[in-house]
Amino acid sequence: METLTATRPGLDRAELRGTARGGLINLVGAVAAGSGGLAVTWLVALALSPEDAGAFFAVTSVFLLVGALARLGTPTGLVYWVARLRQAGRESAIGSVLRIGLWPTVIAASAAALALFAAAPMFTRPDLVRLAAVFLPASVVMESLLAATRGYRLMGPTVLVDKLGRTLAQLAALGVIAATGAASAFTVTAAWALPYLPAVVAAWWCLRRSHEGAEDPGFPDRVEARAFWWFTAPRAVAGVAQIGLQRLDIVLVASLAGLGPAAVYTVATRFVIVGQLVSGAVGQAVQPRAAAAMAAGAALSAKRLYQESTAWIVALTWPVYLAVALLADQYLRLFGGEYATETARAVVWLLVPAMMVSAACGVVDSMLSMAGKTSWQLIDVTIALVVNVSLNLLLIPSFGVVGAAIAWSAAVVVNNLIPLAQLWRTFGLHPFGALTGRALPAAGLGFGALPAVAGLLGSPWTPVALVMAGLAWTTVLLRYRRMI
């Protein structure tokens, strides 16, 4: 087992407070982005037919998959290197890292956009694919620029530019289209993609402000490209596989079962975005501090960062997952009566336990990558993707969207338990601290067992019990927030 040394309690507590502040900013953005993502799905489902909605969801999934490939893993690489160079007092070398990481990303994004544009006739709706390809470079470059600002431990730019600014712009554009009766698959896709253009400009400005004064021409310092890409290259493939786990099933459902079932599947699984954004928000706050702690061999900081961040992820996501499971019919009817089907309910019930397991494992992916084990991460996510694709191809033709849900659930569990075992065995790091030990049973009891029992008295009592649990839970979370 690789060992890490302990740190001073004062430093450890300061790191936790810094992470908490960054995590709180990110969580505000995650709430906005998660709510916005659900609202986008809701607007699209109401404004378009299931076939057109399925075409939109499939094309945006392809957009995100190709974007992940074009990013070349640079977001994680930039966070890792910028944070470590600042920890080592080598701010003058950050410029070399930015040049090494950003220029290849710009080139790759442009090439990917041209390739996607040329491949458009292969898809059911080539007009939508061509439209999405135009905005692909802006999306890819924005992600990398904002990642570099997070290396400076600045969470504000990511929240303001991406999670708030871009999301609200998409909602506003979609709202105008829906209100004016101009909704079509093409106009909705344009409204969704256009905000990436101002977002990339804002992200460039934020990074420029963060990096001002860091260069020192009199004392040149630089990172070798080989060192940067040795760390980043495995993450490039892993990033594609991660997005594949989240989005490829929509594409496969559209191809194997049709655009209508793809829309039903997307609607039934949209609650997952809440947990993904909460985990991502906490992970983005933890990443730079985890990288610094691992670089310094600081066991106490790394362990407490992991355990307390996991407790917060559980506390914020398990109530949502359990509420959606108990109120599956009401959740699905929000998007229209045609989506409240038995198969859609089965999709919800299959995914909820898998997502709860994922939340309980915390930011295991971020911790493994910040420990420098991106090659392990690549192997892990590749295994999970193989499980996902294999089960999708096997089950979708016979079971439709339910088969896709089984495949995704299995892949999510594999993608969390394997890296958890590696992190625990190699570094002695695991997410099950004292606070996590309280959050897990309390959330399960308050939002699962008690509302389910209340439902036996009559269906109206389940939401009443959930509301009461939510009020009590909020009070408890505010109390623990003051302890950090």
CB neighbours of residue 51 within 10 Å:
14
Per residue in 419-473, pLDDT (tens digit) is: 999 989 888 888 888 888 888 999 999 998 989 898 888 778 888 999 999 898 8
10 Å CB burial of residue 479 (0-12, 13-18, 19+) is exposed
Distance CA 117, CA 133 (A): 6
pLDDT value at 7 more than 50: no
* Residue at 1 is within a domain: no
Least confident of 197-206, 213-222, 272-281, 324-333: 213-222
| Cα–Cα distance measured from residue 318 to residue 313, given in angstroms and rounded to the nearest whole number | 8
pLDDT of residue 344: 93
Q: Mind listing the pLDDT tens digit for each residue in 192-239? A: 999 999 999 999 999 888 776 555 554 456 778 888 888 787 777 777
Structure tokens at 453: 């029992």
Residue 2 lies in a domain: no
Q: What's the number of CA atoms in the CB half-sphere (13 Å) around residue 184? A: 6
User: What pLDDT band is residue 27 in, cutting at 50, 70 and 90?
Assistant: low
Tell me whether residue 127 is in a domain. Answer: yes
Token representation of residue 422: 């590696």
- CB-count exposure of residue 363 (10 Å: 0-12, 13-18, 19+): buried
Distance CA 346, CA 268 (A): 9
> Is 295 inside a domain boundary?
yes
Residues 6+ apart with CB under 8 A from 441: none
Percent of residues, the chain, with pLDDT higher than 70: 88
pLDDT tens for each residue of 355-395: 999 999 988 887 887 777 778 888 898 999 999 999 999 99
101 lies in some domain: yes
Residue 135 token pair: 């905005």
Q: Does residue 4 lie in a domain region?
A: no
Domain contains 342: yes
Query: By the 8 A CB rule, do 276 and 68 touch?
Result: no
Per the structure, the count of domains in the chain is 1
Could you give the CA distance from residue 273 to residue 407 in angstroms, rounded to a whole number? 17
263 in any annotated domain:
yes
Domain span at residue 100 reads 9-481
Please answer whether residues 103 and 393 qualify as being in contact, where contact means their C-beta atoms are separated by less than 8 angstroms.
no
pLDDT of res. 3? 43
- The pTM for the full model equals 0.73
Among candidates 129, 141, 133, which has minimal Cα distance to 114? Answer: 133
Q: How far apart are CA 35 and CA 446, in angstroms?
A: 23
Residues 196, 186: Cα–Cα separation, whole Å: 17
